Structure formats: C-alpha cells, structure tokens
Amino acid sequence: MQRPSFALTLVAVLLIASVFVLLQAGGSAPISPAVGPRPSPTQPGALRGHLAICRRGRQINQLQWETVLVILDMTTLKEDVIVTGCGGSPAWSSDGLQLAVDRSGPGFFEGPTGYPFLVINADGSGKRNPVQFENNDTFYTNPVWTPDGSTIYFAYSINTMNNGGGGLISTEVRALDVASGVMRLIVPGPAWAPTLSPDGRTLAYIVPSGLWIANAADGSSPRQLLPASLFSIGILSRPQFVEHGEAIVFAAQGMLATSAPTSQDPSARATRWMEEHAAPVGLWRIGLDGTGLQRLMWLDQDTWDWALSPDGQWIAASGVNGIEVTDLNREHLIRVSDQRGGWIAWGEATGH
C-alpha cells in the first residue's frame, strides 16, 4: 500500500490541537446547527453513561496548567476528579471498568508524567502503567481498547527533530498487550487515530490520503473507505464505529469538493491558508462498504472534541465554554457542563 509523503499535517493534528485545547481563552458554544434555528434547550434525564474528560485545571505558572481526569455522570451531571495528569484522549474499556489515559502529551502538561499510558479503574483506584517511558520525543495517543480488555491500540509517534529528521512526526498504529507491556506494529506510518469495531475485528484509521480500514489483528487487507480529497481542506479525524460496526462517523474539515486544490499560485495558497483556519468542521457518516456518505451536523469552530453515546443516539461536543449534547436529529439540546471542556470519551462506567 503506497501513501503520500507525510510532513507537517500530522504535527498540527497531534500537537497543535492539544495546545489549542488546553490554552484557548475564549469562544462560543460547541455545537452549530446543521440547518435552521438552534434547537431549544432540553432538561437532562434521558442521557445515560459517563463522560470521561481530560480537562485543564488550576494554573501552575504562566504557561502551565494542571490537568485532571474528570468523570461526569450523564444522568445526574455530578462530576468526580479521579486522577491528576492527563495529556489527551481518554478511552473506556468495553465493560466500563477501566480507562486508558494518554499521559505522554506534547511535553508541556503539568502533573505526573513519565509513562505513555495510565490504566485506571473507573472509581480512581488501581492506577498502573502498562508500558515504560521511552523518551521525551515519543508520544502515545488515541488509545482504544479491544472488546476483551486485553489490548490497547494507539498511535505511536516519534518527533524526529532531535534526531536529524527536520522536526517531523513519524506516526504508526501499534497494539499494546496490557498485561505484558509488549507492543507490536499493526499499520506502518503514516497512520493515526485508530478505532475498533464493536467485535474488535476491524480497524479504522486515518492516513494523509483518507480514511482506511483493515483487519485489526495484523493490519492486513487494508482498504481505503474514503479519500481525503473529497473535502476542500482534506483533514480527517476522530473516526468512530456506529450501527453495530456497519458504519463509521468521523470529523472532516471543509466542504465537499469534486477535487483537491492543485494550484501553486501564491494567491491560491493564501486562499487555502485562510480556508484551513476558517473552514467548518463537520461530522459525517459513511457505511463500511463506502456508500451512504451523509453529513450529520456542523461543529462550531471552537469545538475541541466530540464523542458518541454508547447507544449511538447522542453526540457530545466539548469546547471552551462547556459541553453540550444533541441527538442525531438535532431535536434536543442538553447543556451538561458549563466548565471548560477538553478531550472526552463517553462510556458506561460500571465500576464508578
């Protein structure tokens, strides 16, 4: 499988987005209506499960904040801080008993560091580090559990700036055996943002050319599901399986386009730079057979992260001014938190 050369795009996806999440100072509500007026606010009550939030906490100094992992009960809206120190996306195990928390980050988060992942029980007990720290140029991001809870898939990234690589990020998809700490390569780079089907047999991931799927066991039989060039900006992120593994929801920046921009004219490059910094980010659905592409909604430009409910009926959007939840038909809007958001994951916490 041949893929295009990979340079600064992934740096923006993995590092700059993380900085933006924790240091942004202002913005608007995280969800923008797809069509028509904004839905009327609805009182909570129908929501279930728990939202894990890696959120910025108290300020340590001018450039650093403590980060905390918070569990939000989506029925009662009660929050509990279960651990200090997180660097990115948390991930629920399928049984709701454990969380995997990215702690490597891009190197500036305050709090306990030195290990790529922290595995912790949903009630905050049983903290353990399944793999040892390598160096400050190695990042472990986007964790996702296998259904049996034995393995964590993740994006393994190396900053080559200190090794003569020109400051590029080399990223591949790996799998970590939680019990032994042994890692194995699944998809050679550039590849990131792995996610697994509910049965654990199919892996979806992002490469510069688009959204791909493969056999989860070894990355064999890779197949492109969607080209990034279908969108005007062509930056895809955050795929998640829905509909019992028959479809995938993902985020894409830009409008649908018949072809990717090709002009090298300076004015065209300037226009593209402006588009990249102002183009809308939408949530899209596509069937596992590559058909049925459908836009679900637009996300506000100040949205940092989003997550689907365990039943696939609700979408939570996290931004600078809080966290909101809407149903897929956008008939109901529920504000679940007024506090600054962060990286989020929605699961069923049976051990909380």
Q: What is the mean pLDDT of the chain?
A: 78
Q: And the tokens for 105?
A: 């980050």
Cβ neighbours of residue 101 closer than 8 Å, sequence gap 6 or more: 54, 69, 83, 86, 87, 90, 91, 117, 118, 119, 120, 143
The CA distance from 284 to 268, in Å, is: 27
- The answer, yes or no, to whether residue 253 has pLDDT greater than 70, is yes
Predicted local confidence at residue 5, as pLDDT:
43
Cβ–Cβ under 8 Å, residues 27 and 318: no
- The answer, yes or no, to whether residue 109 has pLDDT greater than 60, is no
Cβ–Cβ under 8 Å, residues 133 and 156: no
3-state helix, strand, coil in the chain (%, to 5): 10, 45, 45
Of 328 and 27, more confident = 328
The CA distance from 302 to 276, in Å, is: 14
Predicted local confidence at residue 32, as pLDDT:
45
The CA distance from 112 to 67, in Å, is: 10
Domains of the chain, earliest start first: 9-27+39-217+300-347 (2.120.10.30)
- Beta pairing partners, 140: 156
pLDDT digits (tens, 9 = 90+) for 83-96: 887 878 899 999 99
Quickly tell me which residue has 């899209």 as its tokens.
284
Single pTM value for the model: 0.80
- The answer, yes or no, to whether residue 330 has pLDDT greater than 50, is yes
